[in-house]
Amino acid sequence: MAEARILVVDDEAAQRDILGGFLRKQGFDVQEAASAPDALARLREEPVDLMLTDVKMPGMSGLDLLREARALNPELPVVVLTAYGNVTDAVAAMRDGAVDYLTKPVDIDAVLHRVRKVLDGQRLVAENRALREAVRGRYRLEGIVAESGKMQEVLSVVHRVAASTATVLIHGESGTGKELLAQAIHYQGPRSAKPLIKVNCTALPEALLESELFGHVRGAFTGAVADRAGRFEAANGGTILLDEIGEISPAVQAKLLRVLQEREFERVGASRTLKVDVRVIAATNRDLEAAVREQRFREDLYYRLNVVSVTVPPLRDRREDILPLLDHFLRKYAEANGKTIRGLTREARDALLKFDYPGNIRELENLVERAVVLTRNEVIDLEDLPVALQEAAPAAAPATPGSLPAELEALERRMIEDALARADGVQTRAAEILGIGERALRYKMKKLGLKDTATRQDGG
Mind listing the pLDDT tens digit of every residue in the chain (460 residues)?
Answer: 346 889 999 999 988 888 899 999 988 889 999 999 999 998 888 888 899 999 889 889 888 898 898 888 888 899 988 876 667 777 888 888 888 888 888 888 888 888 888 888 877 777 666 555 555 445 456 568 888 889 989 998 998 999 999 999 999 999 999 999 999 999 989 998 899 999 999 888 877 899 999 999 988 888 888 888 899 999 999 999 999 999 999 999 999 999 999 999 999 999 899 999 999 999 999 999 999 999 999 999 999 999 999 999 999 999 999 998 999 999 999 999 999 998 888 888 888 988 999 999 999 999 999 999 999 888 898 888 888 787 766 555 555 666 666 777 778 888 888 888 888 888 888 888 887 877 778 878 877 778 765 444 444 4
Contact 6, 115 (CB under 8 A): yes
**What SS3 string covers 328-375?**
HHHHHHHHHCCCCCCEECHHHHHHHHHCCCCCHHHHHHHHHHHHHHHC
Domain range list for the chain: 5-132, 144-313, 317-392, 404-448
**Considering the entire predicted model, what is its pTM?**
0.60
Taking the C-alpha atoms of residue 331 and residue 383, their distance in angstroms, rounded to an integer, is 20
- pLDDT value at residue 139: 46
For 50, phi then psi, to 5°, come to: -160, 145
Taking the C-alpha atoms of residue 115 and residue 50, their distance in angstroms, rounded to an integer, is 8
Which class in CATH covers the domain with range 144-313?
Answer: alpha beta
Taking the C-alpha atoms of residue 365 and residue 359, their distance in angstroms, rounded to an integer, is 10
Helix axes 13-25, 108-138, angle to 10 degrees: 60
DSSP state of 200: E
- pLDDT value at residue 101: 85
Taking the C-alpha atoms of residue 441 and residue 455, their distance in angstroms, rounded to an integer, is 12
Radius of gyration of the CA atoms of the chain, in A = 33
Candidates 92, 38, 104, 91; CA nearest to 69 is: 38
- pLDDT value at residue 263: 94
Same fold, 5-132 and 144-313: yes
Contact 398, 412 (CB under 8 A): no
The CATH T-level fold of domain 317-392 is Helicase, Ruva Protein; domain 3 (1.10.8)
For 443, phi then psi, to 5°, come to: -65, -45
- pLDDT value at residue 306: 95
Taking the C-alpha atoms of residue 22 and residue 42, their distance in angstroms, rounded to an integer, is 21
Candidates 387, 383, 382, 384; CA nearest to 339 is: 384
Taking the C-alpha atoms of residue 291 and residue 312, their distance in angstroms, rounded to an integer, is 19
Contact 246, 203 (CB under 8 A): no
- What is the distance in angstroms between the CA of the first residue and the CA of the last residue of the chain? 60
Task: Confirm or reject CATH 3.40.640.10 for domain 5-132, answering yes or no.
Answer: no
Strands 279-284 and 239-243, by their bridges, are parallel
